[in-house]
Amino acid sequence: MFWVALIVAGFVKGYLSVDHPENSFYHVMAAARPYLEAFTAAGLGVMIALGAICVIYLRHSAENKQVTLK
């Protein structure tokens, strides 16, 4: 979803910029906005998931630290 939304937004923007040059930049970006919002939401999901993985890993590694004295 993350990359698909960005690629589709790029295709929409490119198509409207090249095939419909009479459109203003505002109209082109307004058409691409839903895909950019989906990209942002997917990016937040990826960030939260990676953060959760890091927290779990750090907690697990802190619990398994053992100090041995010889």
Query: Where residue 2 falls among pLDDT bands split at 50, 70, 90?
Result: confident
Structure tokens at 38: 């989906």
Structure tokens at 49: 């998931």
Mean residue pLDDT of the chain comes to: 89
DSSP 8-state secondary structure symbol assigned to residue 22: T
| Chain centre to alpha carbon of residue 27 | 23
d(CA 21, CA 11): 15
d(CA 37, CA 44): 11
Structure tokens at 69: 């004295």
Say whether pTM exceeds 0.85. Answer: no
